[in-house]
Structure 1
Amino acid sequence: MSDADSRKHGPSERKRPVLFSHGDTGYLRLRKLTNGPGEQKRFLGLPRTGDKDGPLVEVAMVGASADWTSHARLEDAAALGVLLSHPAIPRTHGLFQHQGARYLVTEYVSGISLNMAGHYGCVRGRQLSEAFTLYVASVVADVLSYVHTLTDAAGRPLGVIHRAVDPYNIIVKHDGTVMLANFMSACSLLPGRAPVIPFIVQGEIDFAAPERLWPTPEGGVDARSDLFSLGMVMLEMITGLQLYGSDEVEQAAAKLPPGHPGYDGEVPWVSEVRSWTTVEQMARRAAAFRSEHIDHLMRKVSGPVRLIIHKLLRRGPSERYATAAALKGDLDACLGVLDRPYGAREAMEELLKARSEAMEVKEPIELIPSDEAERRAGELHQPTSH
């Protein structure tokens, strides 16, 4: 930020309301972000101690009058967050309580979400390269390998599952590095966790594995469910198409007998995140898709990448990659045979080119979905010293 920008934003920041204070630090509210699960609200915040500003943070708040499940979810996220230490996971700074309300403060990640990257591709009529998707997926697979194998101090597995691997929560920072954000929907075996609420699917259902949408004979959700979701993300990034949203899968789902999956007796499952259809209808699509539907969407995808995505999108968890580490090995092997190295610098160069070409097609204001506005919200509010 230039000196002129600092002078422009500095005085106005002093008038910002304070979300809460802890010790000598006040957390200024810069803007509201999309609400979290339950009664959780999210804000972009600026910590200020005296006349010094700290790095931007994301503040998840649950009010004093909120229901106990919302408070419990925030406490669970905080307990897990302090255990996570990976360069591609936003840092958790702490859980604070003020006048009955709880505030979870985490690192704010500014950049370009994969959802927005895919939007650039659709607008300009050409998706980002396979190399871009392989690079991003390799980083996410590394994060998932880390969280899936996390143990407590005694070496006992914590059974962490992210449950929200989707294009909104995968962010490419402005230096090209990749982050997997939003562990609010994660589950684990940490002691004292809030009980799972029956019939409520947490996280985005558009990218959910079949076993997350309805019970299967093979058992419940496990680490391989996250890998299915990553396969869905890869498919959409490379093709610009969504498996559950394809016409062929919709037609196949319509032929299933009434009440097949997604409906348990008299109680329909519901999603805690708004979607374009119901859990029941999404579950029917997850039960109806076949390998030929995936082949049709990937007809222009290279053979090795097609094999990886096919293995990720097996309906039965036992047929998928057994671990995220095994997946990362195959992704890195595909990256290794490229004509030139592909990493953070190449990813950001490709993203910026895609954004520039997309803006030549449409007015810039048409290129800013809500998630991109949130990711870029901090660009005009970089910390300054007064």
Structure 2
Amino acid sequence: MATSRQPWSVPGVILFSHGEFSYEVDLSRPLVEELAQSRLGEIIVPAWERTEKKRLREVIVRSLPPTSSDDPEMLERMRARLREEAHLATYLQHPRIARTLGPYEVQGVLYIVSDRVEGTSINSLITYSQMREKLLSPAFCLYVGAEVAGALHYAHTCKDENGAPLGIVHRDLNPARIFLEPEGGVILTDFARARSLLPGRVASTLPRPHGDVFYCSPEALLCEETDPLSDLFSLGLVLLELATWRHLYSMPHLRPSDLEKALTPKAKKQVLDAAITAMEAELPEHTEDCILRAATFTRQDVDSLTEPLAHPLRSIVRRLIQRNPGDRYQSAADVEADLRAGLAALGASYGATEALDEVLFSLEGASMNQRVIGPTNEGQLPPDMVTEEDIITERGGTT
């Protein structure tokens, strides 16, 4: 039988129990600093999954109390969105994808449990390589890219119990969503903003970019339809930054006024409409710059940015970040195959052990250069919360 206490009412108590497992707040952590709460009342906190006798693993518990909103209709939409997220997660059973469990509803409180990923994010590794003033090796980039592409291929080709394609698109692939584990494995996290064809899924309120706009595909930024090829574009941006510290949407030598002059009347209207949508959705201020850049970058820009990359990483990234989806790789499986072939062509074995050794060396160098010690446990907290723009407006769509 499931039991529950009101979250945070008594320090150190079990949040809730389900079957043989209970979820306990970890008082050894600075809970006040790590607890997060959204504007809509969703609460996120680190916890332990445990049995009656011992703690098993660290997790992140998200809870939505029945009194978290003064608007009953909005609250029910929030609960529906979280249930859908947990339902979709039941299909994502892959060793390179962080797990999400639930939903568990106990005494009116809705709970979702996610893996607390151990290791270091690719976002942090980029920072540490900059502090060390030395790029990570092409082998490391090929290895990480291949592991992520494999996870994406699994997600993109998932089917339901009846064999129907689920049409999953991550939509928030960026360096903060990819982790290198303590043993050197690669984990892809946070499908909270994923689009799918899961029956009963719902449409978001605006056709807008989801996730970090700095890593969105051009079609996402311009409020067009997204598909698995959009995730491949995002992967290309991640690999470009990991391998060069450069980004397609950050070209300081190009002035916005000059870019606007290059737009056709049709493209100018599309950019304006996308900028208005971004403003209505309260997206970050730099979204407008990303939209303009996504609408104006050229094949020559791509060639110039990728020129410093070693072969075959150069040709792979170059193909991933083409504006026209038809010019990109057509599946994550093809991307993975080319990345692994490129890794094999280097002639030396490179896998989890070699990746971990390289990262530890990079972290040590960053610490010596900047007197900063890199994290050894950087579980993502918080995962994506439900926002007003994630709330449903109509049944039968995709989100």
Please tell me the TM-score bracket, short chain as reference. 0.7 to 0.9
What amino acid sits opposite 1:29 in the alignment?
A: V
CA deviations on 1:324-346 (whole Å, 9 max, x unpaired) are 11111111110011131110000
* Residue 322 (structure 1) aligns with: 330
Tell me, yes or no, if structure 1 residue 353 matches structure 2 residue 361.
Answer: yes
Q: Tell me what 2:88 maps to.
A: 80
**2:309 partner amino acid:** V
* Closer/same/farther in 2, CA of residues 125 and 119 from structure 1, 3 Å limit: same
SS of 1:56's partner is strand
> What is the count of residue pairs matched by the alignment?
357
Q: What are the within-5 Å matches in structure 2 for residues 270-309 of structure 1? A: 270=279, 275=284, 277-278=286-287, 280-309=288-317
| 1:336 maps to 2:344 | yes
Counterparts of 1:139 and 1:35, CA distance in 2: 32
What root-mean-square deviation, in Å, do the aligned CA atoms of Structure 1 and Structure 2 show? 2.8
Q: What residue is the counterpart of 1:263 in the other structure?
A: 272
Percent of residue pairs bearing the same amino acid type: 34
1:155 maps to which of 151, 163, 170: 163
**Partners of 1:275 and 1:243 in 2: CA distance:** 18
Given the alignment of the two structures, is residue 237 of structure 1 paired with residue 233 of structure 2, yes or no? Answer: no
Q: Which residue among 224, 228, 241 is the counterpart of 1:223?
A: 228
Q: What's the TM-score, normalizing by structure 2?
A: 0.81
Q: Distance in 2 between matches of 1:152 and 1:314?
A: 31
The DSSP-based 3-state class of the residue aligned with 1:342 is coil
Task: List aligned pairs for 1:89-238, cutoff 5 A.
Answer: 89-216=97-224, 220-238=225-243
Give, in angstroms, the shift of residue 109 of structure 1: 1.1
Give 1:48's aligned residue: 50
User: Which residue identity lines up with residue 286 of structure 1 in the other structure?
Assistant: A
CA pair 40-202 structure 1, distance change in 2 beyond 3 A: farther
Which of 18, 21, 27 is matched with 1:22 structurally? 18
Q: Which amino acid aligns with 1:45?
A: A
Matched residues in 2 for 1:274 and 1:200: separation?
9
Query: Are 2:320 and 1:312 equivalent residues in the alignment?
Result: yes
Distance 1:364 1:238 in 2: 22
**Structure 1 length normalisation: TM-score?**
0.84
- Can you list the C-alpha shifts for 1:214-258, whole angstroms capped at 9, x where unaligned? 145xxx111100000000000000001121122145555354559
- CA 1:164/1:107 → structure 2, altered by over 3 Å: closer, same or farther? same
Q: Secondary structure at the match of 1:224?
A: helix
User: Is this contact kept in 2: 1:36–1:60, CA < 8 A?
Assistant: no
CA deviations 1:69-89 (Å, max 9, x no partner) are 432221111001111111101
Deviation, 1:33, is 5.7
Query: Which deviations, in whole Å up to 9, do the C-alpha atoms of 1:97-138 show, x marking residues without a partner?
Result: 133321111222110100011011111111111110110110
* Equivalent position amino acid for 2:24 in 1: L
Aligned AA for 1:237? L
- Contact (CA 8 Å) 2:143, 2:343: kept in 1 or not? yes
Q: Residue in 1 aligned with 2:388?
A: none
Mapped to 2, the partners of 1:195 and 1:376 lie a distance apart of 26
SS of the residue aligned with 1:42? strand
CA distance in 2, matches of 1:309, 1:57: 34
CA distance in 2, matches of 1:135, 1:16: 41
Give me the whole-angstrom Cα distance separating, in 2, the residues matched to 1:36 and 1:342: 42
Deviation at 1:276, TM superposition (A): 5.7
Report the CA distance shift for 1:327/1:189 in structure 2 as closer, same or farther (over 3 A). same
Equivalent residue letter for 1:176? G
The CA deviation string for residues 341-377 of structure 1, in whole angstroms up to 9 with x for no partner, is 1100000000000000000111226x66xx9754599
Using the alignment, how far apart are the partners of 1:84 and 1:193 within structure 2?
Answer: 16
User: Which segments of 5 or more consecutive residues in structure 2 lack a partner in the other structure?
Assistant: 1-9, 70-74, 383-399
The aligned residue for residue 246 of structure 1 is 251
Q: Distance in 2 between matches of 1:289 and 1:117?
A: 27
Q: Distance in 2 between matches of 1:328 and 1:239?
A: 20
Secondary structure of residue in 1 paired with 2:213? coil
Q: CA shift at 1:265, angstroms?
A: 8.3
1:193 and 1:96 mapped to 2: Cα distance?
19
- The answer for unaligned runs of 5 or more in structure 1 is 1-13, 378-386
Deviations 1:194-224 (A, max 9, x none): 22221442211110001111145xxx11110
For 2:390, the equivalent position in structure 1 comes to none
Residues of 1 paired with 2:37 and 2:188: CA distance?
18
Per-residue deviation at 1:36? 7.3
1:124–1:61 CA distance, 2 compared to 1 (3 A): same
Instruction: Tell me what 2:64 maps to.
Output: 62
